[in-house]
């Protein structure tokens, strides 16, 4: 039976020392009860507490790190559905590199993947890992590929090599880089020892739940807990079913052998099927997915999906409420107003910039809600917009007295003019994409 926060608190030292990173023992007890912390984080825990709380304090899905300084953290999730709370560790996206391609082809590919980044609503989105495959007869190709990645990238590395001697050499090149080893065979004692010696994670593969549980138990009993699970499936439907069962077993049944992040290697050539499979696996519930090739269009779609899935549904992405200069505005430049929902801000600011106009963009605090939502909730109304402008003394910073409001919020124009005496309120276009044509038609200065 799960222990409550109060039951756990009774077993803690009650010193409120903060050495665990939490201000009080009660707060730490609550984190333990919610399986968001481990008892090992408390350096003063008694042997009685360790014995009683050891198993109870373990997160239902273990947190696993892959990589060195720029390590990817996966696992440690606590819910089946993001609306219940949130998902914490976004799915890692890996690109497969084949040793047989040769170093001349691999080097520019590695450099391009490394520098490929996408900025969306204020966040920098990129791939996380390289999956290096030994598909060449010459081990020098495999070791050379690993060296190229290590020299030209800070991303973590997953190794796929069926020759243990070559794999051992490869791990020697990645000392302190916490790589992962992909096993597509039954787990052996030598594999466990190799992973433990080199501080590597193991990705276990099986064809059935029973085989997978047996392998994780074998690794756990040998003291190896940094594991990822790869249950082979016959098609995407079975994969979705298997992932759901594994996740539910870990979270709802507290079945320890399945309490690890999930992994998938996708080897599909068709573009549409590849995108569909990757999207499904990202949503349900893979912590790492390996793509067979580097494709910017596919990555942008997956980045966007991942960002949407792994944001707190109870806290919209938002920017700081303030005045943002677009271009090189002067005191005479026009003024636009919008909400602090990130997507709204970046779309509006981008379209103003595209119009070639320099302007002041007043972003009011609507708790991260979009224009219509904020207006309906009473957070984007004339009185509040006027109060914000006065509080930041914006009237003293500009000479213009024209302000453009979103077309969808035309209802607030009268109220805003009443609370901003001397200002002319201009109702703008409804869609941000129409801003360039709007500024050409309307005299704003």
Indicate the pTM of the whole model: 0.76
| Cα gap 16→434, rounded to integer Å | 57
The CA-based angle 170-174-176, given to 5 degrees, is 150
pLDDT at 5 over 80: no
What is the structure's pLDDT at 248? Answer: 94
What is the structure's pLDDT at 239? Answer: 95
Residue-wise pLDDT tens digits, 177-202: 999 999 988 999 999 999 999 999 99
Give the pLDDT mean for 211-222: 95
Q: Are 45 and 108 in contact (CB under 8 A)?
A: no
Residue-wise pLDDT tens digits, 345-368: 999 999 999 999 999 999 999 988
- Between 193 and 444, where is the model more confident? 193
Q: Are 164 and 198 in contact (CB under 8 A)?
A: no
Q: How far is CA 179 from CA 69, 102, 107, 344, in A?
A: 12, 22, 20, 39
What is the structure's pLDDT at 35? Answer: 66
| Cα gap 177→405, rounded to integer Å | 52
Q: What is the mean pLDDT of the chain?
A: 90
Which of 30-34, 278-282, 421-425 is most confident? 278-282
DSSP string, 127-170: --EEEEE--SS-HHHHHHHHHHHHHH--SEEEEE-S-HHHHHHH
Domain architecture of the chain: domains with CATH: 5-53 (1.10.15.40), 64-309 (3.20.20.20), 323-441 (3.40.50.11600)
Q: Which two tokens stand for residue 257?
A: 């052998």
How many CB atoms within 10 Å of residue 366? 26
What is the structure's pLDDT at 57? Answer: 58
The torsion angles phi and psi of 207, rounded to 5 degrees, stand at: -100, -5
pLDDT at 242 over 70: yes
**Given pLDDT bands bounded at 50, 70 and 90, which one contains residue 55?**
low
What is the structure's pLDDT at 160? Answer: 96
Please tell me whether the peptide bond between 285 and the residue prior to it is cis, using omega within 30 degrees of 0.
yes
* Selection from 389, 445, 379 nearest residue 421 by Cα: 389
């Amino acid at each position: 039976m799960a222990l409550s926060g109060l039951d756990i608190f009774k077993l803690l030292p009650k010193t409120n020392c903060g050495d665990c990173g939490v201000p009080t023992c009660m707060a730490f007890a609550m984190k333990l009860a919610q399986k968001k912390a481990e008892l090992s984080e408390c350096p003063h825990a008694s042997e009685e507490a360790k014995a009683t709380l050891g198993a109870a304090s373990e997160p239902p899905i273990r947190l696993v790190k892959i990589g060195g300084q720029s390590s990817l953290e996966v696992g440690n999730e606590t819910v089946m559905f993001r609306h219940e709370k949130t998902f914490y560790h976004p799915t890692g996206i890996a690109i497969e590199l084949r040793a047989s391609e040769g170093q001349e082809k691999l080097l520019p590919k590695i450099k391009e993947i490394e520098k490929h980044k996408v900025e969306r609503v204020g966040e920098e989105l990129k791939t996380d890992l390289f999956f290096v495959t030994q598909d060449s007869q010459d081990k020098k190709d495999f070791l050379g590929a690993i060296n190229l990645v290590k020299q030209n990238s800070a991303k973590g590395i997953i190794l796929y090599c069926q020759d243990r001697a070559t794999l051992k050499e490869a791990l020697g090149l990645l000392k302190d880089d916490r790589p992962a080893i992909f096993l597509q065979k039954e787990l052996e004692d030598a594999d466990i020892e190799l992973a433990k010696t080199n501080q590597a994670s193991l990705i276990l593969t099986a064809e059935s739940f029973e085989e997978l549980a047996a392998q994780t138990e074998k690794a756990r009993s040998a003291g190896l807990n940094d594991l990822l699970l790869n249950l082979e499936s016959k098609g995407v439907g079975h994969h979705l079913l298997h992932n759901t069962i594994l996740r539910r077993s870990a979270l709802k049944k507290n079945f320890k052998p399945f309490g690890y992040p999930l992994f998938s290697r996708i080897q599909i050539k068709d573009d549409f099927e590849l995108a569909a499979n990757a999207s499904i696996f990202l949503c349900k519930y893979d912590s790492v997915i390996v793509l067979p090739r580097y494709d910017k269009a596919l990555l942008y779609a997956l980045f966007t999906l991942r960002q949407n899935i792994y944001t707190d549904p109870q806290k919209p992405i938002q920017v700081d409420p303030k005045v943002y200069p677009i271009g090189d505005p002067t005191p005479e430049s026009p003024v636009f107003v919008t909400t602090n929902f990130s997507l709204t801000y970046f779309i509006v600011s981008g379209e103003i910039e595209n119009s070639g106009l320099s302007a002041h963009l007043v972003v009011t605090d609507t708790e991260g809600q979009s224009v219509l939502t904020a207006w309906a909730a009473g957070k984007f109304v004339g009185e509040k917009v006027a109060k914000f402008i006065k509080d930041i003394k914006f009237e003293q910073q500009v000479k213009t007295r024209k302000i453009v409001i979103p077309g969808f919020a035309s209802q607030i124009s009268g109220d805003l003019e009443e609370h901003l005496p001397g200002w002319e309120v201009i109702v703008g276009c409804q869609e941000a994409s129409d801003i360039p044509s709007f500024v050409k038609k309307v005299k704003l200065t």
